[in-house]
Structure 1
């Protein structure tokens, strides 16, 4: 499970990350990354990266959406340490994520994160 310190819950930051962040997509998901939170409060926020998830009703009913969200949270936990500094990452699930296995989601997330972090660092 993703720790509370690394969870993104602020809707304004979600919106800003999706609009202005670097983006990479696959069949099952799209990731948006901003290297550092521009409005980050040095006293009020976590020192490390934060991750948020968007799973719309297009993915499925509530049971399916929650299952997809749980899988993505678990998989994102493995990648939090590789994110740069105080980065903000938003993972948006596409409808194909409902039928995807955990292995497919793991591969897609890893591939998308490697592409988007390469854009940010280079």
Structure 2
């Protein structure tokens, strides 16, 4: 009986070790999944910001040249573009908390609180 009990305890010990290792591996995989989703969203936002900046810069240069050729005053065209960019900056600064907070909360809370296999037991 003692040998049978010892074998059962040894089997239980190894089963618990395997279970704990499997749970640790599951947590690691879920962390990797969520981290990769975060990074893809952040990288995508960075690309969008860079491309938007380039589009605004080229649009400003094109408008300045068009205005300068049409009205023979490049300085006024440049000042109009500068004023427009300053206006956009002020509008963004006023509404940045509302815009950024809602964007980050909706995207990151969806990733953070999605149903995972770890809490199913």
TM-score normalised by L of structure 1: 0.27
Q: Which fold has the larger relative contact order, with Cα–Cα distance below 8 Å and residues 6 or more apart in sequence?
A: 1
Q: Greater strand percent: which structure?
A: 1
Larger Rg: 1 or 2?
Answer: 2
TM-score normalised by L of structure 2: 0.27
